[in-house]
Amino acid sequence: MIIPIVYGKATTIYFPLITAGGTGFQVTWAPGAGEYDYILDGGAITTLGSAPSHEGNGVWSQALTIAETSGEYLVITYDDGTTDIEDQCIICSTIFSGQLEANQGIIIGEVDTATFTATTIAMEAFRFWPNTTEEATSSHYLNRNLLFTSGALLGQQTRITSYSLANSKEKFGYDALTEAPADADRYVVI
C-alpha cells in the first residue's frame, strides 16, 4: 500500500489490518513496542513515536511526526510477535509533496440556488474542500478565478470581482459568463 503524504508535515494515515490467519479485520490488537517500526529513506529501523490506534471496524490510524515525514520514502511495518495481525507494510511517499501542497490552495464548491438565483455575474455556493467552512472575510477571493468543472459552464473560467458571506454561503460576483450557473454546478477557486 502506497500513501502520498506531504514532506515534513505532521499527518495521520489510515489503513486496514487483517486478523492473523483469517480474512476479517482486526479490531482487538494491542500493539507493543517494536511492533510498529519505520525506515526513512533506507536508514535504520526505528520505532514510530506513537502506536497505531484502532478507529473502528478494523480501520487503524497512525500519527506521523514532522521528523517521520521528512524524507522521500517512509516505510512502516506492523509486525506482531503474538500473531494477532497479518504483518503489514505501508509505504508513504513525499515525491508528489509539492502538488499535494499546491492543491490545498484550491477551493472546491457547488452552486446553491435555494436562497439566491444565480445570474451571469453572481452566485451563492457551498464549499466542499479543503474544508467545509465558508470564508467570512469580505473580498477574500477578489481577483482569483472561478473555473467551472461541471454543468453547461464546464471549462469556463471567470475573474472574481466581489466576495462576501451571505445566507451562510459564499457569494461571488464575477465577470460575465455566457450563462448563469445551475444549481449543483461544481467549480474550483484558483
Same domain, 117 and 56: no
Q: Return mean pLDDT, the chain.
A: 93
Q: What is the pTM of this model?
A: 0.64
Do 111 and 175 belong together in one domain? yes
For residue range 83-122, what is the model confidence (pLDDT) as tens digits?
Answer: 899 999 999 999 887 777 777 778 899 999 999 999 999 9
* DSSP secondary structure of 43-104: ---EE-SS--EEEETTEEEEEE-TGGGSSSEEEEEE--TT-SB--EEEEEE-TTHHHHHHHT
Lowest mean per-residue pLDDT among 16-30, 36-50, 86-100 = 86-100
Backbone angles phi, psi at 185, to 5 degrees: -60, 140
pLDDT (tens digit per residue) in 124-133: 999 887 777 8
Do 115 and 25 belong to one domain?
A: no
The CATH code of the domain that includes 54 is 2.60.40
Please report, for the domain that includes residue 130, its CATH number: 2.40.10
155: pLDDT strictly greater than 90: yes
Amino acid 71: pLDDT: 94
Residues 79 and 8 in one domain: yes
Q: Are residues 82 and 165 in the same domain?
A: no
- Among the candidates 48, 81, 101, a domain finishes at 101
Residue 93 domain boundaries: 2-101
